[in-house]
Structure 1
């Protein structure tokens, strides 16, 4: 995966950072026994996913690779 830059985009980093903050908020409120704060953190997690998808749609995500014909790939490897 490292060769394909999987996850190394502004959309991925932003979505994951927002989701991580949401998990931290939820975890803190879980320890404090506050259900409302816990669910607020879960909302932040969902917002992180939405922001990541919106940024990907805006062109800040990874470009989809072009798929080659399987016969061309096999011919290139055997040549």
Structure 2
């Protein structure tokens, strides 16, 4: 049973989050990716619309995620 718990908590803990915090973050992230995909689809059909929307969303998501876990990794390495 403990092994099952760690399957759901190890990764969230690696980015300093609880399971529920990580779930909420991942759900928002997924929603933003779907929005970016929709904007890209609109842009594919109508190239004059949403010309930078998808790339702007993806850049914002990258900024929010590329350093996640760095603080906890630094803290663990120092211990």
Under TM normalisation by the shorter chain, which class is it?
Answer: 0.3 to 0.5
Normalising by structure 2, what TM-score?
A: 0.45
Normalising by structure 1, what TM-score?
A: 0.45
Bigger RCO of structures 1 and 2 (CA < 8 A, at least 6 apart): 1
